[in-house]
Structure 1
């Protein structure tokens, strides 16, 4: 299903500008990328929210602010918070960011100034884990601040820990979690280091987990959380599906041929699991038909072939365990990328309605290796996708290929690459695509409340 004008998100202000148009002075913009964090059961447990601050003020004004803070500090006074810290809290409190988290807590990077900012106290401690850089120091003022915030039930993670030193020893009693980039510690040292941290009662987070081998190694060492995109890589057939994939592929082929309701009904009846899912989808709030659907034919008519096709495409990625869609990391990543692609293409010059559907398909099937394995091109041919869609996925060609690269760069918070791709995809810019991504994530994460038009249905066996 394509977006119409009413569906398209309003981009202004979503990125986190600190000032309204009526305010004087250039803005400080803050926008976010998100990275999933998985627990030991392979479920989404949190998102790291990675902020980018773009300070539009004159350099003289920025220097004046820094000089004033240094003078206050030297005089024993509490410095006035930096404007960038105020901007960060305003952006973090924006409804769009909260909605994009699908009910999961955020892990938010701290600086010293942000940590001492009174705006932090307006953030619910249940919503956030505060990440401290490993070089933040351990002076008495900082320790006192951690103690104060801990009394208010805030929790802390120490980020990018790679060695045991005096600073780590001083901070360890005040942090709940330790984040370790498993690529930055020698394989011979990592087991002992992880063991020491676990014995100290800390939650261990493995960063840089990009392959199944990385995941298994960290899992065997007792890590509690895993950050990286290993779950979106081929699993060697280990991932269970919520419905037989051959049945889903057959249904997709039939839908591409514009079947009659009778043909679609006959195909669906061959697989009771699909019938169950479709009945649930038709009776969800998103369909808004005003009555309970009780027959398969009514469900087909109420849902429509476009919505059934989209639902079938996403169902290819659903985990076979009885978990909510908002806790399924692969399904959330696929749905967010597909929706991002669909919305982003509408912002390009001379975009056509049919390109929205093509963009959604590029996003959906860019992950096809994760569930089917085997050569990517062969799998895409089996799906009988149009050539522009296949070349966008395989070769990253054309506007759709560039949008796919843009989505990947944003998922990894590679802002340099985001800027470079936006230069090729005018009028898109980093703030706009970050806002689109939050909108897409909200759509993907509203499972179990409203279906299809506003999110994915809750999928269970």
Structure 2
């Protein structure tokens, strides 16, 4: 049975009940458990599922996504896994932040990230807040705030952070909603508006071994070396290739199903985001213990690079080769998997119908795997022996590299 992953979202609306965005919430299992070891674990889980399982476009569409995070994760830099566009990071500030933390928050805000000051309930705390001047949103929790202080909380928020949107949080009844409208709140969230909607889908995990390799690579002392190694690992593992392609928010790059290669995807994401995504994959662990399809994908990628060497289709060929084993890897029809990815029609045609030069390349590779000399002679007259030798060399190269083989594009 295919494992599933879960994610909850609760809408945040304006006074006309139009959806402004969704707060994204951790759910651990089919029983919708909210249990987690610590808040940072939950945040990593939400980010991993949003970016690497569903893809942001499929969860929030053209609305904002609001995600809870600790200030320490901002200091660490994990927020860079997400694009600033469309994301709002909710942070609590029970005590005023120290200078180092504030510097990290200021840098992130300068880079375009938006913050929501979360769980505000006391006027004195809000007045002392060092995050408030950086906040785009202030969320006032109705169940904890004194009703008499609410006008003051709204006024202080707007005085210290011009243009801020003030959210009424935990709106539980029509009476709450009407009172909050009268107070002049901009946005509203709570069970009266809507309960969290739990999303579920088949999991797209990484290989157990791949996740361990990523974890080891990320813990190394040389950050630049880590980037180079990450690119090598990602480009030779079908499970990682699939997840990275999922992470490319094509809307953010003005693209429409136009990713032609894994290298293009990694270039669009950039080194910093690639590192953060790798960290999320490593932290989530891997649940694919059988490496056979991962290894087969690596062999196919290596052979694709050889078959298309000197052409402008090497990157696309390697991507087709990697994706060609994902149906067996995830026990899901390849057509369904391709619906989740922003890849070109050429790649889709090759994988679904064996069409074009990339489709012919894949047919040759599969014939080599079967040792089908007759088909090889039909596809590539007079080259069957050379192709068989090429496939054997690819198998040996991947085995020697432990499937973490860099395919040069």
Q: Is TM more than 0.5 here?
A: no
TM-score between both structures, scaled by the size of structure 1 = 0.37
Question: Which of the pair has the greater relative contact order for Cα pairs under 8 Å at 6+ separation?
Answer: 1
TM-score between both structures, scaled by the size of structure 2 = 0.41
